[in-house]
Structure 1
């Protein structure tokens, strides 16, 4: 999903209607907010009537005493109108602001939850920074509209419509001419509106580009600094920021033209109406109070149109932001949950895994098969190692087993049940993964390990840490198990991060364990102790191991040699070396021995 992808016209037409599912649960509050909005608008519209009464009844009374009493009564009436306006406006402000905050939180949660369920294929074409920009920046734009601008727009729409109706009722001939002039304003306003909306969407896309660049670079800041590319990356970010500014400038310019045109046209039309009103007073056709009322209604109408012109720009911008959020919500993972998931039967001593004629191409590389008709059966409790050159398909086997992707052909069965027929939760709950790049979250050591089984007690977490030989270095941290490990575990060494990851998998205690280069980041001493811990963890469970360092897999029950997505050999370490194939070549390079010499051993 590129940030520059054009949306079909039918989808663009939805605009803010995509927010309807998030507004629907709060229909009651919306009704109350609308009622408060109507009452505040009505209070505002009542003000000119009170003013007319003040002018006509107060100043035209003959007796000074009657004039004073009339003035007092009308001033009290105007104060009552002002008090009502304050009360209803405060109610409207609270309910609408609450609604904006609530809907934005729901929208942000829904988008984030939906993105978390996407398969890795989604992230092959969508940058993480762009997703974060949509979840944060775009939802903030929507919040501004729902929690403020939309309310102001509706209030001024009601107020402007009310003022217009009152003007038509009191001066039908003059307002007929004014309305004729206002009709001519509509077409240019619609043209400007379409331009603003298009540029609003483009502006949000450019902001997302800057977020994507920042997220990418900050996650690799050590590499950037080691290659002294700070200036180059700052220049790249600056170029993206300038592009965002340029698009925003164009949007603001068009929006300014739209506001100026609408206000000028409406103001000109209203001045024509006022000119006709003053002529009517001179001719004795209406009273001074009537003219004062007309002046206030004209002012309300003009100010309402001015606010609507401003709000309309915000609404158009929010429409673009909403479209970008709905794009994320409409993304569908190709790895779908089964309609009627089957139960996963428990197996004694580990899980049985069967790969049957698996062929798989990554979506980003459709012409190259990552796995080509691969078949492999793994018995419960068996330890199987996958070896081969880079790109042979080793990690792909693990990703398909976890159903991060589905193969184009063939099937994978776990304890006799095809993985497509299991719920993703049940499937992955039975698998423990220790990845090559250990993931450490920005929390304590205790909670990082507990991630493997959130219901585990502190004692169980500590036991898992001891089994992974992580207890000693964790206790040496400033606050022990409560020590904050920093973003991505920056306070730990690579070996320490890996032992945290191993402890997490041990705590989960799954019947199937996947080790993807689990000891690759360890020094010789750490590798020795962690290898011993892993061997203990492999007992009574099925284990699938990926290893480039062949010394760590010599005790595996079977070693599967992969090359170009196919199995080229299977056997134990000594058997494979004796055959003199690809494995013997890899062993020769790593152990510094010739294949025939290794075979003699």
Structure 2
């Protein structure tokens, strides 16, 4: 607008063609700088897309990369994984003891019945104590490893943020409010992923593997029915997590904008009050919240369908197990004792997979948070302030002279940092530079 007013004024004054030509050159230069800024942003987006597509397998698999970052705590993680394996392997044994307890009530003599039930109860008590120790080791080990990983991720993320060029923070998803939210909530979500949830995942997988081997030893036909159900539930869980991860990424962008707006309003509350724009600010914030709600409604129907199938599949599984068990008993290929063990194992396995499904929402949030951190770690800034490449001055005495210096960032060609800057600094001289930042005077001292 200012440029147009200048051009109109110059058009009226035909006696000054030099000013007219100068104004035209400045306008063309501003247009060219804006176009270069757009091209730089597009090029950076293409480069980031190519980097994402060329990631290795370990970089794509979030859990493996988290474990690789936590390599220094491999002993603690090994203790937790060993506890998970033993805890998962003990569940099929519970089905054996459960079948023995049920079979003990078939004795005619009260003394024999009482003796077998008491012995089975004692075994249950011993196994309960063992599981108590295993669960304590499991959750303690993964909690220690998760806290150490969170500390590393926060430190590395902050270091990577300091390396980024200024244009990185011009993007709407990289404002101060959005970055603060990521450093706090996303790091906590990653800690849960590498802590207690990792223990639940390992324990469920161990239960499934040992249970399948145990079930095949008893009867492969009944185990096959349970295995098909487990595979279907795993695929449903994966689909639910994929939808939630996508929803989480989109929702984080919207909530990051909302957080940025809230931070700016709070920091400039006096200006908001003086300008009487409370209703406009409230409208912008409400629009962002409504956009997040609308995004949630888009994914609500498919997630509800997946959840409905997920929570009813165990009922149909047990129905098929009972039907096939009846056929096997009629053909005298299976005894009632074996049926009780297989049914008990099926219930334990299905409940373990269901537990993973219950945690799918939180696991999806943790995966989304870890991916956002890894995208930051893998991003190579256009201007790397941590690089030691370039010209080094061998004989430097501190006599600095700036004469008519004009400086702009390559990634921000429309923002002039220095324009005809002149300054002479003598050796051992202290200098104070004053400037305006958000309507505040900022003074920086150098010595």
**TM-score bracket relative to the smaller structure:** 0.7 to 0.9
What secondary structure is seen at the aligned counterpart in 1 of 2:413? coil
In 2, Cα distance between the equivalents of 1:64 and 1:90? 39
- Quote the offset at 1:98 in angstroms: 2.7
Contact 2:400/2:424 (<8 A) preserved: yes
Q: Deviations over 1:383-416 (max 9, x none)?
A: xxxxxxxxxxxxxxxxxxxxxxxxxxxxxxxx9x
- Quote the offset at 1:101 in angstroms: 2.7
- Quote the offset at 1:313 in angstroms: 4.0
1:100 aligns with 2:127: no
Change (3 A) 1:40 1:187: closer
In 2, Cα distance between the equivalents of 1:367 and 1:120? 12
Q: Match for 2:388 among 338, 344, 348?
A: 338
- Quote the offset at 1:303 in angstroms: 0.8
1:82 aligns with 2:128: yes
- Quote the offset at 1:203 in angstroms: 1.9
Contact 2:107/2:113 (<8 A) preserved: yes
Contact 1:18/1:322 (<8 A) preserved: no
Change (3 A) 1:181 1:315: closer
Change (3 A) 1:43 1:433: farther
Further displaced range: 188-197 or 19-28 = 188-197
- Which structure 1 residue ranges, 5 or more long, are not aligned? 382-414, 416-429, 440-487, 489-493, 512-601
Q: Match for 1:288 among 336, 343, 350?
A: 336
Contact 1:127/1:212 (<8 A) preserved: yes
1:272 aligns with 2:271: no
Change (3 A) 1:79 1:178: closer
Alignment of 1:153-232 (within 5 A): 153-179=201-227, 191-232=239-280
Q: Match for 2:306 among 254, 258, 273?
A: 258
Q: Match for 2:85 among 38, 41, 56?
A: 38
Contact 1:29/1:95 (<8 A) preserved: yes
Partner of 2:434: 435
In 2, Cα distance between the equivalents of 1:10 and 1:265? 39
- Quote the offset at 1:211 in angstroms: 1.5
1:353 aligns with 2:403: no
- Quote the offset at 1:32 in angstroms: 0.8
Q: Deviations over 1:443-472 (max 9, x none)?
A: xxxxxxxxxxxxxxxxxxxxxxxxxxxxxx
In 1, Cα distance between the equivalents of 2:264 and 2:139? 40
Q: Deviations over 1:521-569 (max 9, x none)?
A: xxxxxxxxxxxxxxxxxxxxxxxxxxxxxxxxxxxxxxxxxxxxxxxxx
What secondary structure is seen at the aligned counterpart in 2 of 1:361? strand
Partner of 1:148: 196
Partner of 2:170: 124
Alignment of 1:493-532 (within 5 A): 505=445, 510-511=446-447
Q: Match for 1:72 among 109, 118, 136?
A: 118
1:24 aligns with 2:68: no
Number of residue pairs matched by the alignment: 394
**TM, length-normalised to structure 1:** 0.57
- Quote the offset at 1:153 in angstroms: 1.9
In 1, Cα distance between the equivalents of 2:62 and 2:333? 49
In 2, Cα distance between the equivalents of 1:146 and 1:379? 52
- Quote the offset at 1:332 in angstroms: 3.8
Q: Deviations over 1:252-300 (max 9, x none)?
A: 5544433332343354234301332244446654443322222211111
**TM, length-normalised to structure 2:** 0.75
What secondary structure is seen at the aligned counterpart in 2 of 1:366? strand
- Quote the offset at 1:234 in angstroms: 2.1
Q: Deviations over 1:44-70 (max 9, x none)?
A: 3321111222233x2344544333222
- Quote the offset at 1:432 in angstroms: 5.4
Partner of 2:97: 50
In 2, Cα distance between the equivalents of 1:84 and 1:100? 24
Partner of 2:161: 115
- Quote the offset at 1:137 in angstroms: 2.2
